[in-house]
C-alpha cells in the first residue's frame, strides 16, 4: 500500500515537472531550471522515504519476532503437508 502511494506521488511529481517546464519554457529559463531541481529533489526524497519504510519494516520484524515470525513458521510447517496431500 505504501509502495503504491509512493509510486503515485512520484508520478504526480513527474507530471508537475512536465507542466512546469511547458509553462515556464517561453519566459524564464532560469526559474524553470530551479523548479526542475526542486521537483527532482522531491522525487528523490519520496524514493528515500520508501526505502526507509522498507528498512523500518525489517527492523520491526527483528524487534517484534513474536508478531512477525510466528505466522511464517506455521506456513513453513504446513507447506510440505499440503504438497504431500496433493500428490
Give pLDDT tens digits for 11-49.
Answer: 666 677 666 666 655 555 566 667 777 777 777 777 777
Structural domains of the chain, count: 1
- pTM, two decimals, is 0.27
How confident is the model at residue 56, as a pLDDT? Answer: 75
The CA-CA-CA angle for residues 9, 42, 6, to 5°, reads 25
3-state secondary structure of 87: coil
Give residue 8's domain range. 2-86
48-75: average pLDDT: 66
Percent of the chain scoring above 90 in pLDDT: 0
Strands (E) across 7-84 are located at: none
Asked if residue 68 lies in contact with residue 59, where contact means CB atoms within 8 angstroms, the answer is no
Amino acid at each position: 500500500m505504501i509502495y503504491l502511494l509512493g509510486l503515485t506521488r512520484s508520478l504526480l511529481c513527474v507530471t508537475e515537472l512536465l507542466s512546469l517546464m511547458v509553462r515556464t519554457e517561453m519566459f524564464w529559463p532560469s526559474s524553470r531550471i530551479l523548479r526542475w531541481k526542486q521537483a527532482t529533489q522531491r522525487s528523490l526524497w519520496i524514493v528515500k522515504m520508501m526505502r526507509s519504510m522498507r528498512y523500518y519494516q525489517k527492523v520491526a520484524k527483528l524487534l517484534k519476532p513474536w508478531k512477525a515470525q510466528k505466522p511464517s513458521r506455521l506456513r513453513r510447517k504446513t507447506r510440505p503437508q499440503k504438497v504431500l496431500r496433493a500428490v
